[in-house]
Amino acid sequence: MSGIILAIESSCDETSAAVVKNGTVLSNIVSTQEIHQKYGGVVPELASRAHQKNILPVVNEALTEANINKSDLDAIAFTKGPGLLGALLVGASFAKGMAMALKKPLIGVNHMQAHILAHFIEAPQPNFPFLCLTVSGGHTQLVVVKSPLEMEVIGETIDDAVGEAFDKTAKIMGLDYPGGPFIDKFAKDGDPAKFKFPNVNIPDYNFSFSGIKTAFLNFLRKETQKDPDFVEKNKADLCASIQFTLVNILMKKLKKAAKELNIKEIGIAGGVSANSGLRNTLLEEGKKLGWNVFIPEFEHCTDNAAMIAMAAHYQYEGGDFEALSTSPNPRMKFSGTK
């Protein structure tokens, strides 16, 4: 069973809508909220208000671009969690109202599972099973993907996510929000071996990033006491060095899991997978180790409704629907099989 599905993503600060037909994405509209930049982070209340303002025109544009009338839809999908509660409520309420009015089934999607299934929006696509490193502002996970709806989380961060480490080290240097892209930008002109930062070794396939942020902060405090202009003089090298450290931690665990589980199909997903340092390192290591590496297009790495639509497509085929009484879950867990 397959059909035409409208998907809505509103977990954080992107309002997005997409239409998928029989597993093919026909449209993917994303409205990014720029208001949060001056606050150095996402302000939940402002995000919720922006979603309320943007959701109707974004959905309308997605349907128009796909050349689909709302009466032709077979189901309505939305991000159930994890995310900001107020932001999730906007998307969930809109989806529930539309599903009720059109008398169509409702599909609730796990945001983290959707990031992984972004690999199936376009070709080439990995074969099952594949190992996926999912990296974002709120999550860092290693997942064995056995099928679109059967996955196993084998490792995750025990404290901060790698995206948070990128953003907070950038903030320490005085860079704008979101900091990850700025670190990536300046790192291109820097020496990744100029400064050494600790590479925390956590057992099994788990990660830890809180100690690196503390070490980075203490290092800059010490150096700026000697030279107040230290950060500005060494910006490129600092960005290259901290990016190298964070990417190395990710790659170390990924290589360990791939070797021990004997998996050659490797993918990355989530907002941090847009980082050029991580993408290039993965491709280089993949050539050395004989991996088949899969990286979604840039626009499908950050939060978007196309990935929600792809996850909804597989759930629709499996008859996995929600009751209209369902509620979003900001702390929704993702441990594997839905």
pLDDT in the model for residue 173 = 95
| 275: nearest Cα among 200, 142, 183, 189 | 183
CA distances to 75, 142, 178, 225, 252 from 209, rounded to whole Å, are 40, 15, 18, 25, 14
- Residue 261: burial class (beta carbons within 10 Å; 0-12, 13-18, 19+): middle
Query: SS3 of 20, please?
Result: strand
**71 a known binding residue?**
no
pLDDT in the model for residue 118 = 97
Pairing of strands 150-156, 140-147: antiparallel
- The confidence band for 1, taking pLDDT boundaries of 50, 70 and 90, is low
CA distance 237 to 190: 4
pLDDT digits (tens, 9 = 90+) for 151-196: 999 999 999 999 999 999 999 999 988 899 999 999 999 999 999 9
pLDDT in the model for residue 203 = 86
Q: Where in the chain is the domain with CATH 3.30.420.40?
A: 4-117+302-318, 124-295
pLDDT digits (tens, 9 = 90+) for 189-236: 999 999 999 888 888 999 999 889 999 999 999 999 999 999 999 999
pLDDT in the model for residue 48 = 86
- The mean pLDDT value of the chain amounts to 93
Phi, psi of 183 (to 5 degrees): -60, -45
If you ran DSSP here, which 8-state letter would residue 175 be given?
Answer: P
Longest dimension (CA), the chain: 67
- The confidence band for 23, taking pLDDT boundaries of 50, 70 and 90, is very high
pLDDT in the model for residue 2 = 65
Cβ proximity of 129 and 265 under 8 Å: yes
**137 a known binding residue?**
yes
**136 a known binding residue?**
yes
pLDDT digits (tens, 9 = 90+) for 247-304: 999 999 999 999 999 999 999 999 899 999 999 999 999 999 999 999 999 899 989 9
**91 a known binding residue?**
no
**275 a known binding residue?**
yes
pLDDT higher at 134 or 13: 134
- Residue 124: burial class (beta carbons within 10 Å; 0-12, 13-18, 19+): exposed
Taking phi over 0 as left and psi of -120 to 50 as alpha, with beta for the rest, 295 belongs to beta
Partners of 8 in beta bridges? 17, 78
**51 a known binding residue?**
no
**C-beta atoms surrounding 307 within 10 Å:** 33
Percent of the chain predicted with pLDDT > 70: 96
CA distance 312 to 320: 9
pTM exceeds 0.85: yes
Round the CA-based radius of gyration of the chain to a whole number and report it.
20
pLDDT in the model for residue 34 = 65
pLDDT digits (tens, 9 = 90+) for 227-246: 999 999 999 999 999 999 99
Query: Which structure tokens are listed for 96?
Result: 């529930």
CATH architecture for residues 124-295: 2-Layer Sandwich (3.30)
**C-beta atoms surrounding 259 within 10 Å:** 10
**111 a known binding residue?**
yes
pLDDT in the model for residue 231 = 96
Query: Which structure tokens are listed for 46?
Result: 């402002």
**180 a known binding residue?**
yes
Q: Looking at residues 75-87, what average pLDDT do you find? A: 96
pLDDT in the model for residue 35 = 63
Residues 6+ apart with CB under 8 A from 277: 184, 187, 243, 244, 247
If you ran DSSP here, which 8-state letter would residue 195 be given?
Answer: S
**320 a known binding residue?**
no
First-to-last alpha carbon distance for the chain, in angstroms, is 19
4-117+302-318: CATH topology: Nucleotidyltransferase; domain 5 (3.30.420)
pLDDT in the model for residue 42 = 72
**227 a known binding residue?**
no
pLDDT in the model for residue 335 = 64
